[in-house]
Amino acid sequence: MSVEVKIPTVGESITSGVISVWHKADGEAVSKGEILLTLDTDKVSTDLTAEESGTIHLLAQVGEEVSIGQVVATIEPGATQIAATPTAQKATPAKKAPPAPSPATATSAEVAPVVAPSTTSSSLRSAVEAANMTLGVLQHTPAAPSASYEERISRKKLTPLRRKIAAQLVMAQHQAAILTTFNECDMSAVMKLRAEMQEAFTAEHGVKLGFMSFFIKAVVSALRAVPSVNARLDGDELVSNHYFDIGVAVGTDRGLMVPVVRDADHLSFAGLEKAMAAYAVKAREGKIEFQDLQGGVFTISNGGIYGSLLSTPILNPPQSGILGMHKIQERPVAVKGQVVIRPMMYLALSYDHRIVDGKEAVTFLVRVKDCIENPTRLMLGL
């Protein structure tokens, strides 16, 4: 009796998805536990595995949108693989080349020069060259017509995740009064600390000490100092959060995802780095789960890893703030009346101006700057 492969429930409010990859071909043998397909939804991508060994028969195609519970394939237990036998193609006999025309015969595509007996060798060469030029013009093949508009473009449907991202961004622009304020921070102290501690930190904890853990710590400190940024509007009510679940934007082949580091205020630098490393592995393998993306109170986005020097990040609803990190670039700055070269980073805080005033936003960003430029404060929890 065949076993049905159904689309399982992958998260609350998710009713459908798109088959992005079939990892097995129709009629191919599968083993229990093997990955059969990758399903993209508007929140996560997930892999479906075989519950039985046998031969698979596909009932849905790549790119098809399928509903939760829909049967997309069947597996015949114990059946052997159906091998596709290619149809032998008959050999097409090679066409015989047309016989070469005799030198004395001129075809419609040839012009035989007529040379008078008194023609000199120079005149003969000129006549032959002229004849060859004429022959080339006669044999010239017209250029192929330009491709049609449809042949010059390609179309494909947006994935559910990309549609969801688009809808979220448009909703954020329409429903919040987004304003962005900027500052810059000197990365010298953090870079020096990382260089001094990296070897010992990696040996002790098995992960590298990155920049993001410093910024998460700095954001937690700033959220404590400016609680309005750790709040959101719900209708005509202001909801204040008293916890610190920080979202970290991660770019993937399937689109932008924001997994959430839970209780970041209770984690050490090593704990933060391990949490982010685990999310990075899940993102690369397409195994980010729905619950990994829920419940964040604030987001950090690092466009600097792609070379971005400055940007205005868009809020991640229903959050009221997002911090944009950017490329570290050596620039001349004034320090105690002297111009020096320092590794600088622009910081951008976008926030919902309906509940966060300009003074509070600037205070928040200055707090982040102070924490990064004085990392000892973060080490001591100040």
DSSP-assigned states of every residue in 78-145: TPPP----PPPPPPPPPPPPPPPPPTT---TT--PPP--TT--HHHHHHHHHHHHHHHHHHHPPPPPP
CATH code for the domain of 66: 2.40.50.100
Which of these ranges, 98-112, 185-199, 225-239, 254-268, has the smallest mean pLDDT? 98-112
> Quick one: 51 and 193 in the same domain?
no
Q: 77, 102, 134 — which closes off a domain?
A: 77
Count of domains forming the chain: 2
Most confident of 12-26, 46-60, 117-131: 46-60
Q: Is residue 133 part of a domain?
A: no
Q: Is residue 26 part of a domain?
A: yes
Q: Is the pLDDT of residue 90 over 50?
A: no
> Quick one: 179 and 273 in the same domain?
yes
CB atoms within 10 A of CB 110: 13
Q: Is residue 361 part of a domain?
A: yes
pLDDT tens-digit profile of 142-184? 666 677 887 888 888 777 777 777 888 888 888 889 999 999 9
Q: Is the pLDDT of residue 87 over 70?
A: no
pLDDT class of 193 with cuts at 50, 70, 90:
very high
Q: 77, 104, 136 — which closes off a domain?
A: 77
For 72, the domain range is: 3-77
How does strand 35-40 pair with strand 16-22?
A: antiparallel
> Quick one: 349 and 233 in the same domain?
yes
Tell me the average pLDDT of the chain.
Answer: 83
> Quick one: 170 and 312 in the same domain?
yes
Which of these ranges, 33-42, 196-205, 359-368, 370-379, has the smallest mean pLDDT? 33-42
The number of helix segments (H) and strand segments (E) in the chain equals: 7, 19
Which of these ranges, 84-88, 342-346, 353-357, has the smallest mean pLDDT? 84-88
Q: Is residue 287 part of a domain?
A: yes
pLDDT class of 91 with cuts at 50, 70, 90:
very low
> Quick one: 195 and 73 in the same domain?
no
Nearest CA to 329 among 313, 347, 315, 317? 347
CATH code for the domain of 301: 3.30.559.10
pLDDT for residue 112: 44
Share of the chain above pLDDT 70, in %: 81
Q: Is the pLDDT of residue 291 over 80?
A: yes
Amino acid at 201: F
pTM, full prediction:
0.68
Q: Is residue 348 part of a domain?
A: yes
DSSP-assigned states of every residue in 41-66: -SS-EEEEE-SS-EEEEE-S-TT-EE
> Quick one: 194 and 325 in the same domain?
yes
Residue 210 to residue 286: CA distance in whole angstroms: 23
Average pLDDT over residues 262-284: 93
> Quick one: 44 and 184 in the same domain?
no
Q: Is residue 288 part of a domain?
A: yes
Q: Is residue 99 part of a domain?
A: no
> Quick one: 213 and 313 in the same domain?
yes
Which residues carry out catalysis? 353, 357
> Quick one: 223 and 339 in the same domain?
yes
Q: Is residue 363 part of a domain?
A: yes
Share of the chain above pLDDT 90, in %: 49
Residue whose token pair is 């098995």: 206
Amino acid at 119: T
Helix H, strand E, coil C: the string for 220-234 is HHHHHHCHHHHEEEE
Q: 36, 59, 77 — which closes off a domain?
A: 77
